Amino acid sequence: MEIKKITDNKTDFMDILLIGDEDEQMINKYLEQTVIYALYDAGALRSVCALLKQDNKTVEIKNLATYPEYQNTGYASRLLDFVFNKFKNTASRIILGTGENEKTLGFYKKHGFKEFCRIKNFFIDNYSHPIFEDGKQLVDMIYLERLL
């Protein structure tokens, strides 16, 4: 496995980023300010993590996505471990926002994240169409943090 830092031509990764956030307009709001770490296995892209440094203490995961055929194989966990190690000496916490999906929340909680706030009606107010995960409409944005 190899993890590469991507700073240019980030729109080349739009297909996989749309797995983590299905609205291209929302992705374009943060894409240029982020750094993407792309995980490759056997030379093929498997997973990406788009990060935005919020301030001297906080790094935000804006998007973490793995191609569906490679989900539940450890690629996203490997990327998270990479991010934790990369920023452990330069940040004190990693944050992210996600929808209320038990599978997704369980994944992040397994990696040490805890809920610290909610933005009511975020998905209703900010997306042009209803967003569904596992058959459930997403309404609130749940923010999670992990202290480093």
CATH of the domain at 127: 3.40.630.30
Query: How many domains is the chain partitioned into structurally?
Result: 1
Residue spans of the chain under pLDDT 70: none
What's the domain range around 89?
2-147
Strand partners, 48: 38, 65
Report how far residue 114's alpha carbon sits from residue 144's, in angstroms, rounded to the nearest whole number. Answer: 5
93 sits in which H/E element: strand 93-98
Indicate the length of the chain as a whole number: 148
User: What whole-number distance in Å separates Cα of residue 70 and Cα of residue 67?
Assistant: 6
Share of the chain above pLDDT 70, in %: 100
User: Per residue in 61-94, pLDDT tens?
Assistant: 999 999 999 999 999 999 999 999 999 999 999 9
SS3 content of the chain, % helix, strand, coil (to 5): 35, 35, 30
Per-residue pLDDT at 129 = 82
